[in-house]
């Protein structure tokens, strides 16, 4: 038998996600306007947020 759903653990608002199939989203950052780029250093898993060069931070596909 399945456990009952606990309403205290569920969120009241849906997660803020954008549909990946949206045709006007940037193909590099998927609409975020920035992405994480790994740094080459002695410490593992160090990332730097970088503004997307394709959409210049707008999150939309550049007009062609």
Question: Which tens digit of pLDDT belongs to each residue from 47-57?
Answer: 999 999 999 99
Note the pLDDT of residue 63: 76
Q: Would you say residue 4 has pLDDT above 60?
A: yes
Average pLDDT estimate for 30-41: 91
Note the pLDDT of residue 18: 57
Note the pLDDT of residue 27: 86
Q: Which residues contact 62 (CB under 8 A, 6 or more apart)?
A: 26, 54, 55, 56
Could you tell me the two tokens for 14?
Answer: 């849906």
Q: Are 47 and 41 in contact (CB under 8 A)?
A: no
Note the pLDDT of residue 24: 87
């Amino acid at each position: 038998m399945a456990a009952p759903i606990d309403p205290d653990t569920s969120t009241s608002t849906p997660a803020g996600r954008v549909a990946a199939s949206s045709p006007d989203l940037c193909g590099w950052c998927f609409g975020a306007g920035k992405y994480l780029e790994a740094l080459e250093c002695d410490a593992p898993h160090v990332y730097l947020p970088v503004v997307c060069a394709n959409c210049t931070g707008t999150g939309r596909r550049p007009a062609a």
